[in-house]
Amino acid sequence: MEDNMAKVAVLGYGTVGSGVVEVLDTNAAEVSKSAGEALEVKYILDLRDFPGDKHEAQVVHDIDVILNDPEVEVICETMGGIEPALTFEKRALEAGKSVCTSNKELVAAHGPELVELAEKNNVSYLFEASVGGGIPLLRSLNDSLKHEKVDSITGILNGTTNYILTKMDKEGAAFETVLKKAQEKGYAERNPEADVEGYDACRKIAILASLMSGKHVHYEDIYTEGITKINIHDFEYARALNMSIKLLAMCKKNENGFFTMVAPFLVPYENPLASVNGVFNAISIHGNMLGDVMFYGKGAGKNATASAVVADVIDIVKHKGKHIEINMKAEKAVLSPKDNAVRNFFVRVSDDLEEQAREVFGNGVEVVKRNSIHGEFAFVTEPISEKDFEEKLWKMDSVKGYIRLY
């Protein structure tokens, strides 16, 4: 009897990998309807054995078993990290197998060269799950929005930091207290650096910026600030200004090309990004004809992320024998410096510096005082370039903190 099931291999049977297998099992009928044929997980690569697992017979420890099997058409790399994932992905593409992955670290660092390698071998390299977890974002950019001139992408791309900021805002709790609770609940890693310092959001906006520009935006070139300096007083002032504080990752076209950055921003309540709370992600895209469109959903979690990986598998099976084009070349993108970006800034200083604030930043500053906060006040500058702001800030005798306004 002819077996016309498409054969899939999953590399890494951790959270996302086991989620992929679970989605393929649970939604087998829907998956097969969507792909036009049934899918079978033929192999699962992991260092460990999984005695008693429904799929224990599929577990292998040697990548060559998978790469040498001509039946395997699609490889889901859900291992994470750079090596050995990069070597495995390259070898798979060279062996004529399509690859899909949730590995944002790898896609940010090597995605464009892997897309080119896939094209050379007439297979596909897809990475929907690497940004925004389960949100169908990259496919929308690559398909429904392909005819648009996208000039701006702004997103809340990290669930952990959005959870922390939301808790600080709603419960008035300090950063360290909320971080500890988030770690206890499994919303934050034991080593939270990648999330709270903005590195995770930086990788994700690097991928989006690469897709927007068609070139490789190196994440090392992206100006990145995390949320560790935000404290509860900032939220008190923010509420008085009718604003939330969000870690935004953005990529915007400007007269010099485009620039991209990750930093905490004060976001006015009327902007929908201000209402995105907890672990949720949201991405706002502006196209020249479309205007604004916003995507919202779970940016992390086993099933949501796995669902996005399976969407890639289906796309690949539907495009058998063809390379799915992705707008991302290995040529390095040159980013314009953030210096010329003009915006308002929120600044906190000690209460004896009101006169100096006006002298340095002009009489147009908006002063914000809270009875509950002693010994200091805040002000919002008029629109000013990043460069000018930095220069003026040095002229102040002391500064307790500042945040950009979106």
Active site positions, annotated: 204
299 binds ligand HSE (CB under 6 A): yes
In whole angstroms, the minimum distance from the beta carbon of 134 to ligand HSE comes to 10
Identify which of residues 16 and 380 has a Cβ nearer to ligand HSE in the complex.
16
Would you say 128 or 195 has its CB closer to ligand HSE? Answer: 195
Which pair of structure tokens corresponds to residue 227?
């949320």
How far, in Å, CA of 10 to CA of 38, rounded?
16
Q: Which is nearer to ligand HSE, 108 or 360 (CB)?
A: 108
Residue 26 makes CB contacts below 8 A (sequence gap 6+) with none
Rounded Cα distance, 206 and 261, in Å = 9
> Under the criterion CB under 6 A, does residue 224 sit at the interface with ligand HSE?
no
Q: How far is the CB of 84 from ligand HSE (least distance, A)?
A: 21
**Which letter does DSSP use for residue 184 in this model?**
H
Q: Which stretch binds ligand HSE (CB under 6 A): 157-165, 221-229, 312-320, 364-372?
A: 157-165
Binding to ligand HSE (CB under 6 A) within 51-110 occurs at: none
Strand 401-405 versus strand 345-350 pairing type: antiparallel
- Per CB under 6 A, does 137 bind ligand HSE? no
Which one, 194 or 290, has the nearer CB to ligand HSE? 194
Task: Tell me: is residue 224 an annotated ligand-binding position.
Answer: no
**Which member of 18, 58, 142, 160 binds ligand HSE (CB under 6 A)?**
160
Within a 13 Å sphere around the CA of 223, how many CA atoms are in the beta-carbon half? 16
Say whether 16 counts as a known binding-site residue: yes
Q: Quote the CA–CA distance of 117 and 406 in Å, as a whole number.
A: 39
The residue with tokens 């604030």 is: 357
Known binding residue 189? Answer is yes
Residue 301, marked binder: no
Residue 12 assigned as binding residue: yes
| Minimum distance from residue 195 beta carbon to ligand HSE (Å) | 5
Distance from chain centroid for Cα 148: 21
Give me the least distance between CB of 311 and ligand HSE, in Å please: 16
If one asks whether residue 111 binds ligand HSE (CB under 6 A), the answer comes out as no
Cβ atoms of residues 285 and 136 within 8 Å: no
> What whole-number distance in Å separates Cα of residue 404 and Cα of residue 252?
16
Residue 17 assigned to a binding site: yes
Cβ-defined contacts of 61-70 (< 8 Å, 24+): 63/11, 63/88, 63/91, 66/9, 66/11, 66/92, 67/91, 67/92, 67/95, 67/97, 69/7, 69/42, 69/43
To 5 degrees, how large is the angle CA 181–CA 402–CA 348? 100
Q: Does 159 bind ligand HSE (CB under 6 A)?
A: yes
Segment lying near ligand HSE (by CB under 6 A), choices 76-84, 113-121, 154-162, 355-363: 154-162
Q: 11 a known binding residue?
A: yes
* 300 scored as a contact of ligand HSE (CB under 6 A): yes
The annotation places the binding site for L-homoserine at: 189
The annotation places the binding site for NADP(+) at: 11-18
Summarize as ranges the residues that interact with ligand HSE (CB under 6 A): 133, 158-160, 195, 200, 299-300
